[in-house]
């Protein structure tokens, strides 16, 4: 089926206007008109807390490990179609790789066996829609808006903790099995050797999967700083102020930073640099990152008059972002010598922020979707139809929303949503 230019633009507007959790299902629905498929799965490296998402065909045990080779081997902007291992077996698929984010992303459409290859116009539209969606998400990640940053940080903590617990439990079980199999008191040496080999392979794959997960959810410190530097240079391209850069050095340069820390630190440094550049008589600015065992310290140091007003630093997004990450900002100004601003961000996840920062930060993804519909005046039946859930499930979510927001009615919840939007 052909999608007209007007239809594609309308669909794109509808897709990116959806709540974050509804974007992939809606994108899948639109693409199904062009490329019929059973399931749509994505691996998006800009999303630290949930890089792997899927919709459709819940019976297929597709994993992020199966998508990783398609992300690594694909060419951005050039759709691929063929057979790939998905859900433990070779299946017909279309892979769309995008470079709209710095580290890339891939969308894979799992097709029915024997499906006709998609034609070039359909692949082109599908690629453009995926580029638009990933660019839309990447903007949220780069801007590191405080409310989204707080929710993402909390989700990343839960995900990392569950992954670590499962990995530890599985490694312990496999190690125990290996201990038994290696015992010479058991009979049938050939069977024991085969089982030992299988257990060793499983243990190696478990460790490799953990490494892959970290590589997606984290950025090496030197790479994160290089992305910051690329964003700062254009800000001073036509300025007489000289920019000096101090990237992390030594063993810490290759250390992985949680994605939310990297995004938040870059956004804070950009904002601090803008404040510093508003001063007169500044000829040099030094931006550096230093990592300790538990913290990232980002410094912005100038050679100005040393009379910087602290008020702009305490307003708006700078302190909000740092509070969302559990960090702080320190200023050391020496008249006649300049000012040093230091943003310190813990590398471990802080306690969940209070509702004073963002009253919606305590809501889950589905609860935010339901609240969005409440704010539009939708009743339970309409919400159930829109989200493809039962009315009783909607009632359950509404009750949780009212309880978490501390309000007594749907109208109060809607008003709170509009104030926070």
Asked whether the predicted pLDDT for residue 157 surpasses 60, the reply is no
Residue 201 confidence (pLDDT): 63
Give the per-residue pLDDT at 356.
Answer: 46
For residue 145 the two structure tokens come to 């808006």
Q: Are strands 295-302 and 338-346 parallel, antiparallel or unpaired?
A: antiparallel
Q: Which structure tokens are listed for 194?
A: 């085969």
Largest CA distance in the chain: 83
Query: Could you tell me if 49 and 260 are in contact, meaning their C-beta atoms sit under 8 angstroms apart?
Result: yes
- pLDDT band, residue 376 (cuts 50/70/90): confident
Average pLDDT for 51-61: 85
Under 8 Å between Cβ of 48 and 156:
yes
Q: How far apart are CA 396 and CA 419, in angstroms?
A: 24
pLDDT mean over 75-103: 87
Q: What mean pLDDT is predicted for residues 149-165?
A: 53
Query: What does DSSP say about strands 39-44 and 105-110: parallel, antiparallel, or unpaired?
Result: antiparallel
Residues with Cβ < 8 Å from 179, sequence gap 6 or more? none
Mean pLDDT, residues 329-343: 88
What average pLDDT does this structure show over 271-284? 88
Q: Please choose, from the candidates 382, 383, 386, 370, the residue with its C-alpha nearest in 3D space to the C-alpha of residue 26.
A: 386
What is the model's pLDDT at position 352? Answer: 45
**Span 381-393, pLDDT tens digits:** 998 888 888 887 8
Residue 94 clears pLDDT 90, i.e. is over it: yes
pLDDT at 161 over 60: no
- Of 102, 98, 94, 101, the residue nearest 129 (C-alpha): 98
Q: Answer for the pair 106, 97: CB distance below 8 angstroms, yes or no.
A: yes
* % of the chain surpassing 70 pLDDT: 72
**3-state class (DSSP) for residue 62:** coil
Mean pLDDT of 38-42: 91
């Amino acid at each position: 089926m052909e999608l007209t230019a007007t239809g594609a633009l309308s669909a794109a507007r509808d897709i990116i206007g959806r709540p974050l959790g509804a974007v992939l299902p809606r994108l899948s629905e639109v693409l199904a008109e062009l490329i019929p498929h059973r399931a749509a799965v994505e691996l998006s490296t800009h999303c630290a807390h949930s890089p792997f998402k899927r919709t459709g065909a819940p019976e297929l045990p597709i994993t992020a490990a199966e998508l990783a080779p398609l992300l690594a081997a694909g060419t951005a902007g050039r759709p691929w179609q063929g057979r790939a291992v998905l859900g433990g077996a070779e299946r017909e698929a279309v892979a769309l790789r995008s470079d709209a984010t710095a580290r890339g992303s891939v969308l894979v459409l799992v097709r029915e066996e024997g499906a006709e290859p998609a034609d070039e116009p359909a692949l082109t539209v599908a690629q453009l829609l995926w580029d638009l969606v990933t660019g839309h998400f990447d903007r949220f990640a780069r801007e590191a808006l405080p409310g989204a940053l707080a929710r993402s940080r909390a989700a990343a903590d839960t995900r990392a903790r569950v992954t670590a617990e499962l990995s530890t439990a599985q490694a312990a079980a496999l190690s125990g099995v290996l201990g038994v199999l290696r015992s010479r008191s058991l009979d049938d040496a050939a069977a024991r050797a085969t089982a030992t080999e299988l257990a060793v392979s499983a243990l190696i794959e478990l460790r490799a999967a953990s490494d892959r997960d970290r590589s997606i959810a984290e950025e090496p410190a030197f790479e994160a700083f290089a992305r910051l530097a690329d964003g700062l240079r254009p800000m001073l391209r036509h300025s007489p102020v000289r920019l000096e850069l101090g990237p992390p050095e030594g063993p810490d340069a290759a250390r992985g930073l949680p994605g939310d820390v990297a995004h938040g630190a870059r956004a804070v440094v950009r904002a601090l640099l803008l404040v510093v550049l508003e001063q007169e008589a500044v000829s040099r600015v030094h931006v550096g990152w230093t990592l300790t065992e538990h913290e990232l310290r980002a410094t912005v140091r100038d050679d100005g008059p040393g009379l910087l007003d602290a008020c702009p630093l305490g307003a708006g997004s700078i302190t909000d972002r740092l509070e969302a990450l559990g960090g702080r900002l320190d200023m050391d100004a020496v008249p006649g010598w300049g000012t040093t601003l230091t943003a310190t961000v813990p590398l471990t996840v802080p306690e969940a922020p209070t509702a004073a920062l963002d009253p919606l930060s305590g809501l889950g993804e589905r609860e935010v979707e339901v609240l969005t519909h409440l704010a539009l005046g939708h009743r339970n039946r309409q919400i159930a139809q829109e989200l493809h859930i039962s009315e009783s499930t909607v009632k359950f979510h509404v009750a949780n929303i009212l309880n978490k927001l501390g309000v007594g009615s749907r109208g109060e919840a809607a008003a709170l949503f509009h104030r926070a939007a």
